[in-house]
Chain A
Amino acid sequence: MTMTIDPQATELMKNAGITPRSELVAAIEADVNKIYYGDFLAVRDSHIAIEKGKITGFIGPSGCGKSTVLRSLNRMNDLIPIFRLEGSVTFLGQDIYAPNIDPVLVRRNIGMVFQQPNPFSMSIFENVAFGLRLNRYKGNVADKVEQSLRRAGLWEEVKDKLKQNGLSLSGGQQQRLCIARAIATDPTVLLMDEPCSALDPIATRVVEELMLELKEDYTVAIVTHNMQQAQRVADTTAFFSVDISKGGRTGFLVETGPTKELFSNPKQELTRNYLAGEFS
């Protein structure tokens, strides 16, 4: 889905006061002042841009709010009644927390892969076709399912048992099925929360290669605990940490930058200490 917008259209859009998509660098721009769960301040002062056509990695110690921030990028946190966000998240220029925005449509454009594999209790084929049917896909569903399974590195393993229940697969296969399901609908942005934590090294490599391939067309944000993985796949890395000074355990963004730079020459003391700890 590479956007090739012809110059004339771009000109027209500009005159109409619309910023053409191709000129926006960030697919998602999150300006988080505060995120609360009830009274608990989970994350504060984090400004993050998920750049188009790139992979942005979120790293940091457990409990620093990586998942929380990631899940607020497609309004998954709406499911948690005590969740409250102060700030804004814009997706291609629109504030997704604005009152006139339909969160269902937000999630159809910003897909998600969860830390725990969560296929539906239906056939492997129907799992992948699920989003296509939901979006009333006009093309050939079977072709799209095969293509998605291939990209997720699962096709060879399941091509003879597409009718079997998705839950009958192994944990790692289930996770790749979930990835296939998420990419089948061609979401503009794909959010992945530790997608490889259930995978063996070979499957992890497959998924990493998939991500690198995906970023040609999509935008990816990935939470990972694996520093090597962040270095292998992420163009930009955001490092979060926990602030325990004021009694609470509030997460915040320490620094963000091009991955190579962040790992080789971190600007912040906190980052340096964390990386030193991770690699020692």
Chain B
Amino acid sequence: MRVPVDWLGEYVALPEGVTGEQIAADLVAVGLEEEGLHTSGVGGPLVVGRVLELTPEEQKNGKTINWCQVDVGDSNGTGEPQGIVCGAHNFAVGDLVAVILPGGTLTTPQGPLTISARKTYGHISAGMICSVRELGIGEDHDRILVLPRLLPAEVVAGLSPGDDLIRVLGLDRETVEVNVTPDRGYCFSIRGIAREYSHSTGAAFTDPASLPVDPGVGEGYAVRLADDAPLEGVPGCDRYLARIVRGIDLTRTTPEWMARRLTEAGMRPIGLAVDVTNYVMLALGQPLHAFDLDTLTGPIVVRRTRPGERLTTLDDVDRALDPEDLLITDGGERILALAGVMGGEDGEVTPGQTTDVLIEAAHFDARTVGRTARRHRLSSEAAKRFERGVDPDVTAAAAQLAVDLLVEHGGGTADPAIADVDQRADRPAIDLDLTMATRYVGVNYSFDRVRALLTLIGCEVVDTQDPQRVSVLPPSWRPDLTDAPTLVEEVARVDGYDKIPSVVPRAVGGRGLTHAQRSRRAVATALAGQGLQEVLTYPFVGADRFDELGLPEDDPHRRTTRLANPLSDEAPLLRTALLQTLPEAVLRNVSRGSRDVALFEIDTVTQPAGELQAPVPGVGELPSDEVLAEIRAAVPAQPWHVAVMAAGQADRAGWWGRGRPVDVVDVVGWAHAVADALGVPVERRQAERAPFHPGRCVELVLADGTRVGWAGELHPQVVQRLGLPARTSAAELDLDVLVAASDHRTQVAPLSTHPLATSDVSLEVPRGVRYGDVEESLRAGAGELLEAIELFDVYTGDQVSQDRHSLAFRMHFRAPDRTLTTTEVNTARDAAVARASQDHGAVQR
């Protein structure tokens, strides 16, 4: 809401010399946040000058400039004429003009410009003779402002060279722009803002709605409120007031002061009728509508839409109407307007044609107007106000103000008869415990203080038999005051939030972070410690990403959640795995020159199970257990995942030696680091799965077989399709599975201090046998004395037959209670080899 300061000052006593900045600060204190401060952008000295001499000088480029001597009185400090070069020609010797002297400022399309004396065209030009556009009071750039052509003669008569022009030209005017929260519809008016300013500062408020209202003689224009389908029990219109002004000349121009206020408030002057209704709306917050009386054939009937009805609204859009839309109709048939939102083509006033006008000042239901505005995507100024609540008591005053302005500036006469169909329900009073404000806010408000503050904002406070309780009737313009806490807010707000003390509450005492929360931090820290960078990618993907990743048609990762209103039609789906969105981050780094890139992300992914629907039972009431269960069940599963993706060098090259490219072993290692960080043993199983290289992928599982995730090199085709660096490798694990598996207290085994015995074996096995399976057999065969085992070499070549290879394992044995003998070690080793032979046909070399 833009608030021109001089307009505000008409309704509330502003202190002498108050600035827009101070007003904005005072409004912030009562909850109207500053959005901006608009000024003319012209700063003095800007003075009256009389042109004494004007010498045209033709330049080499063919342009003629004028070298002028201008009398600016004593304003330049010397009293001597000011020498100024001017390129315009629409003025002459003797003219009174506006001169900006060195030190003054103008606002140009390029930004603020400070005027200084400068050498140009062979002269020292000390200032500027201003054009209307330079001063921001007109569009005509070339024309110099010659004061008698703009200002009334009596004003010009009082001017002499050197007089300040900032105030005379209205360039000191300021407009404060504030943000109005959706509960304060009444602040979409200067009246409402003025009242708030008064609450904030104590300045005297003069209600512009308390103007003399004609009593109304006779019936007035026929109006029928015929809403047969109120929304949520509230009629669409509970007050409709119609007034008629006849014989107006709508071709007359809007008075300059009104046009300026409209412009400053952000509305474009259009024509007298529209300007007057807009002006009243801005002043009092009551949207009005003007109809051409001659085009009306029957009574005004306010009703809901019938099936199949359409309306072409003033924005030239033909709209199919909804049964919930409330209409203003001519005689019940011809549709004139979407009530409180926008008019149609029929019944509109036409300057030069319309002479008799019917002014509608009505009160429409916020819900009805809001739904219609949203349904038709029509956020008009009227709808914005009705949707947030318009004061139903201001209707008559608003109509009166409009009638007065039309009569004054359009020259018509008002009909003495006024139609006022008033079916408003009584506003309910609110029962208030006078101790509540103190209990809620933590400031000690006396009962009298509470009463006084509520009275100040316009409430009627009525005592009850209980001295601690009062009955509070909120003012008509505050439909947002609906229960006791809303009144408490008013008490705290008007008393001042700055009075609230600071007290740290004593919480009941928490148990610290949960295991899952600590676990996720541990995983992130472990991966960062391994050299990976944490990133946060957007979760939006397109279906083509699933194709690029080579996911089969029946891959569960294709079952996803779609957004109804995605930011981009290219990415309307929510990721089902983090690897779907990590490629962009890798690519961005590579394109910016960071080619060695190892990233990780920890977040939830969305994995919907089916087509469930979450009920939306409404506000203020706890749903039944069944409904709550239904709501919870419809929310898709969103497990926490961790994913890594890496390309480029794992070890840096340098003078110390060569680098080492990141490979699949790194990625498997990082996957293990995640599990190790949580102390969860995982096993690897060779796997074939998109988006990984079919021969370079491993599935990680818990001891009980529960799947944790996959690690591997990305499929070369995936790499190619996504444009990733060759051999990009990746892993993705379900963190929830790991966290659940780690949620126990590790119990330690005592450490044996007896010596370690080591024995190496080389086993020839057929090529198809997995290393991990051979290791598993050795482990099983060796028994409890085996402490650790590692595969340290794989040999293929002349020494073994073509279809076999030789695996060299080192086995470490230790007993808890004694030093092992060579015989014991050999026995265990032989048992291990025997098991491997039995399981896999392994032959010891």
Q: Do A and B bind each other?
A: no
Residues of B within 8 A of A (CB): none
